[in-house]
Structure 1
């Protein structure tokens, strides 16, 4: 599907691949599984065929089958979109899934290279394959070949004669440097996945790097682990770039010098809570930490949604808390533990009030309430956060001719 998207940080979705496999706890409430299940029964046979065989029902509920459908007919869709758009690539899959051939991924990259007017937003949980492929000269060669084949094929729709002619007169490759119109990101849901995926992202060739901390089901510290006695034993430099010395260069007088350089960093952070059946609550402090760390380092931050759980209680017309509201009284600890009404035992044994009187403060506890996603909204501490990375200068066909 290539419809206008309801996702807050994008304009349109483009899904040339459908089907996936769960790889971490962040996948447990995957909305795409429910969407795929509905669309397998779509009255339009073309839509139903695209999703066929990708989901099945197990004893634990709906899940992916592991089958991945490659939809070659959708590859050229962005060539028809003349208005510049932010395009989320593969909202119904993972582009770097092991069932997607290198050659098919290269064709996706070729289309992105041929449409510099669009900004492409790619998210993956397969950080290892992403890093290996995008740093590989062999993969860049596959992309160059795929781009040339698209232009040379007179049946490729969406490319004007002028664009074909301008491509033929270029003297450089689109893939010598990372594509300027590609925002490459990883999904992270807690500190464990952040520690795995963010370093791999920073080691991958990309013009813009970002993370989607949604669903956020545990705290994430982007600055580095806190020492029990205070301070940080090891800084990550994820938001600032690691300082160091570059490759040695020789001056005109023959003196060898090593310039001071700043390493890659995150260019954008998106965060949000989980929605849908069985959604896990997000602690407001987890979001505040990400927001404050981004503000401190001037990294754009977007708060996408609270999801199903919000710290704001549902109110009636008189402004009173609705009696019997679902989830009323559920308490969430900073470690992700949920305490239901009547079961507020503190992790060390005493009840919560007794623990507080005893001076314990091992976890920040807050009340959260079950809400409709629309009612919970997108405000964090009274305001929305809709920041984006600064746009990179995009080349035009007229600028790249000899």
Structure 2
């Protein structure tokens, strides 16, 4: 039995729901996969790995989003849904499953479906094969480092050009190195300013053409998942992305710091309250998810994109 996520604890969605369960690791961001850990410790529904299984969820479970849609319509709002235990553009999934999934999305117009994928390069072909992307679906890609950010943004913009999603977004969790959003072509500015993003030439006026930018950026640090221990994310990496988004007028959400924080930010009088289990050469301390929280320089960032459809 799958637990229904009526109110998700993930800061950027209202609900989590998956048309099927199962995936396999394709990038360094997958090393600490929470869904794999969930299968190992609680659900045991499928096996992850090089030949990971895929299991379609039940007919009763598929009726849950219809109830959410009715409630959202009655309240006059749009609620976000994230398929959290699968990849919507997984090429090892039976194509009829995706067509059925898209039919469900179309049947729930008061839900905004956040199709986050590590395989964004498949989006155009798979959406066309499934009868087209529903207008209440957004397409996102995961990018943990500069190389993947460069690649993912290119595919996101290709998907926007051909599929016209509600918006495109970039999830940079876990963030494993500093990333320049200008270099990745995720943001652009007009010439004339001196703003600097990671050593790249900068601009201080947002571009009037929002299609030059991604529509939303999410960042987050890694957390422990079973035997996999979280790798550190330096707060300066988050700050660099936060500042670039602010300068370009792109909504920014910082989900969490992970297990690590800037040691200089810890109050010396309360150090005994922190379980400091490690310290990196650049001054990042391992204090655990509870103590690290999601504040960045004392501020909670909860930016969301404007929805262009609906």
**When the two structures are superposed, what TM-score results if normalisation uses the length of structure 2?**
0.81
* Structure 2 residue aligned with 1:390: 306
Over alpha carbons, which structure has the higher Rg?
Answer: 1
Q: 1:238 to 1:315 in 2, by over 3 A?
A: closer
SS of equivalent residue, structure 2 residue 24: coil
Mapped to 1, the partners of 2:108 and 2:270 lie a distance apart of 53
* Structure 2 residue aligned with 1:158: none
* Structure 2 residue aligned with 1:202: 157
* Structure 1 residue aligned with 2:269: 319
Corresponding residue to 1:80 among 63, 67, 72? 67
RMSD: 2.6
The superposition leaves residues 300-319 of structure 1 with CA deviations (integer Å, 9 ceiling, x where unpaired) of 00000001111147968x82
Mapped to 2, the partners of 1:307 and 1:388 lie a distance apart of 21
Q: Is the CA contact (8 Å cut-off) linking 2:166 and 2:309 kept in structure 1?
A: no
The superposition leaves residues 41-68 of structure 1 with CA deviations (integer Å, 9 ceiling, x where unpaired) of xxxxxxx5xx1x424xxxxxxx575111
**When the two structures are superposed, what TM-score results if normalisation uses the length of structure 1?**
0.63
Mapped to 2, the partners of 1:94 and 1:37 lie a distance apart of 18
Q: 1:319 to 1:38 in 2, by over 3 A?
A: same
* Structure 2 residue aligned with 1:16: 19
Larger mean CA deviation between 11-20 and 71-80 belongs to: 71-80
**Residue 193 of structure 1: CA displacement?**
0.9
* Structure 1 residue aligned with 2:204: none
Q: 1:101 to 1:303 in 2, by over 3 A?
A: same
* Structure 1 residue aligned with 2:232: 281
**Residue 323 of structure 1: CA displacement?**
9.2
* Structure 2 residue aligned with 1:118: 111
Alignment of structure 1 residues 200-279 onto 2, 5 Å? 200-204=155-159, 205=163, 206-224=165-183, 237-240=185-188, 263=211, 265-276=213-224, 277-279=228-230
Mapped to 1, the partners of 2:274 and 2:63 lie a distance apart of 52
Mapped to 2, the partners of 1:241 and 1:14 lie a distance apart of 37
**Residue 267 of structure 1: CA displacement?**
0.4
SS of equivalent residue, structure 1 residue 322: helix
Aligned positions, number: 275
Mapped to 2, the partners of 1:322 and 1:192 lie a distance apart of 39
Q: 1:270 to 1:324 in 2, by over 3 A?
A: closer
**Residue 217 of structure 1: CA displacement?**
0.5
